[in-house]
Amino acid sequence: MKAVLKRIASMIPVLIGVMLLTFILLRIVPGDPVSILLGEHYSQETIDRLTRAMNLDKPLWEQFISYVLGVFRGNLGVSYTLKRPVTALILEAFPNTLKLALMGAAFAWIVGILAGIIAAVTQNKAPDHIFMGFSLAGVSVPIFMSALFLQYVFSYRLKLLPLTSDGSAVSLILPAVALGWNSAGSVARMTRSSLIDVMEADYIDTARAKGLLRTAVILKHALKNALLPVITMMALQLSSMMSGAVITESVFSVPGIGRLATQSIMNRDMPLLQGTILFTTVLVILGNLAADLLYSVVDPRIRNEG
């Protein structure tokens, strides 16, 4: 319990740092917001008025504090282009991204763990080489390539699944596979190396000396140990999943957070970009925390330390 609190406390400086960095990065561009909001043909007077109204004339640190206070009240500002509160836009888009990420993760973990187990069990034989070749290819394929490939085959040629997504589960299948394909490769490689490591352990000999068959040894003794590092790895995957979501959402026009981010950068819509980046990053940090806690639930050696 103490360990958990300590872990949560260690997040705070990181969260502040994240807010500071997003703030600095996006506010560093001087005069930018107002000119974008207004376009070219406005008098200096109008520009000044708006600058004051948006607090842009205050010193940076004051702006930062009011920004942080706003964040804690759930106020991420108003989108320049869409003229709506960023928080509302994000909350509308979030369920789609969440669905996409969960489906993608499910695909990655099921395919990745299975492939990893098969490869580890057939170590240095043909299936191992084939699966590991595929997984390295999986890691190396740009997500937009697998996305376009899936669109071409399953939407255009086979006409099985919709070309673009409206957020419904069926329409999210292709984006999720495109998204998960990449992580599946990493999960498979991790599962394989971890399982091979664990199979070297002494307690595997003990289990076999007890009379357990190979499959039983793997399922009952090796897998539980081998998947511990894979859990940590899954948390790290969440971060790359959010990056991947930006791409798949763009290709399949999923109305999610990633698409908001792409749109906002093209329209130079600073509050929206700031909001989406902050939101996803906090999400990733919380995901890592959850994985840490999960790890300590699964591993009795850590569980007892608390």
Partner 1 sequence: MGSGNILEIRDLHTSFFTDSGVVHAVNGVDLDVPKGKITGLVGESGCGKSITAKSVMGLVRYPGRIESGSIRLDGQELTGLKEKELRKLCGQEVSMIFQEPMTSLNPVLKVGRQVAEALRVHRGATSKAEEKQEVIRIFEKVGIPEPEQRFTAYPHELSGGLRQRVMIAMAMIMNPKLLIADEPTTALDVTVEAQILRLMKNLCGENGMSVLIITHNMGVVAEICDEVYVMYAGRIVEKAPVFSLFDETAHPYTKGLLASIPRISGNPEYLSTIPGVVPNMKYLPTGCAFHNRCPLASEKCVREVPEMVETGEGHFCRCHLAKAQTARG
Partner 2 sequence: MSKPLDQNIKENHSADLGDYIGPLQKVKSMCRRNPLAAVSACVILAVIILAVLAPVIAPYGEAQQDLLNRLKGPSAAHLFGTDELGRDVFSRILYGSRVSLIIGIFPPLISLVIGIILGLTAGYFGGWIDYLIMRIADVMLSFPSLLLSMALMYTLGRYANSIVCIFTALSLVGWASVARVVRSHTLSLKETEYVEAARSIGVRPAKIMLRHIMPNCIPSLIVLYTLNVPSCILSESTLSFLGIGVQPPAASWGLMVNQAKQFLFTMPWLALAPSLTIMIIVLAFNFLGDGLRDTLDPYLQKG
* Closer Cβ to partner 2, 244 or 256, answer by number: 244
* Closer Cβ to partner 1, 58 or 208, answer by number: 208
CB of 133 to partner 1, least distance (A): 21
Q: Which partner in partner 2, partner 1, none is near 140 (CB below 5 to 8 A by kind)? A: partner 2
Contact between 285 and partner 2 by CB under 8 A: the answer reads yes
Query: Using CB under 8 A as the criterion, what x/- string covers residues 136-155 for binding partner 2?
Result: xx-xxxxxxx--x--xx---
DSSP state, 151?
Answer: I
Candidate list 100, 246, 260, 291; residue touching partner 2; CB under 8 A: 246
Spatial separation of the C-alpha atoms in residues 55 and 36, rounded to whole Å: 16
**Largest Cα–Cα distance of the chain, in whole Å?**
87
* Closer Cβ to partner 1, 141 or 216, answer by number: 216
Contact between 38 and 80 (Cβ < 8 Å): no
Q: Which partner in partner 1, partner 2, none is near 262 (CB below 5 to 8 A by kind)? A: partner 2
> Would you tell me which residues interact with partner 1 (CB under 8 A)?
123-124, 200-203, 205-214, 216, 220-221, 224-225, 228, 298-301, 304
Query: Using CB under 8 A as the criterion, what x/- string covers residues 152-191 for binding partner 2?
Result: x---x-----------------------------------
Residue 54's Cα: distance from chain center in Å? 32
Answer positive or negative: Cα dihedral of 212, 232, 188, 180.
Answer: positive
Contact between 277 and partner 2 by CB under 8 A: the answer reads yes
Candidate list 51, 122, 164, 193; residue touching partner 2; CB under 8 A: 193
Residue 196 CB contacts under 8 Å (≥ 6 apart), including other chains: 120, 123
Q: Which partner in partner 2, partner 1, none is near 28 (CB below 5 to 8 A by kind)? A: partner 2
Spatial separation of the C-alpha atoms in residues 22 and 138, rounded to whole Å: 31
Token pair for 263: 């749109």
CB-based burial, 153-176: b 16+ in 10 Å, e otherwise: ebbeeeeebbeebebeeebbbbbb
Amino acid at 287: G
Q: Which partner in partner 2, partner 1, none is near 240 (CB below 5 to 8 A by kind)? A: partner 2
Chain positions 75 to 114 lying near partner 2, rule: CB under 8 A, are: none
Q: How many residues does the chain have?
A: 306
Contact between 273 and partner 2 by CB under 8 A: the answer reads yes
Residue 273 CB contacts under 8 Å (≥ 6 apart), including other chains: 26, 261, 264, 265
Burial of 252 from C-beta contacts in 10 A (0-12 / 13-18 / 19+): buried
Chain positions 15 to 34 lying near partner 2, rule: CB under 8 A, are: 17-18, 21-22, 25-26, 28-29, 32
- Triad 60, 34, 42: Cα angle to 5°: 140
Identify the CA nearest to 194 among candidates 236, 237, 232, 225: 225
Contact between 281 and partner 2 by CB under 8 A: the answer reads yes
The contact set with partner 2 (CB under 8 A) reads 13-14, 17-18, 21-22, 25-26, 28-29, 32, 136-137, 139-145, 148, 151-152, 156, 193-194, 197, 229, 239-240, 242-244, 246-247, 250-251, 261-262, 265-266, 268, 270, 273, 276-277, 280-281, 284-285, 288
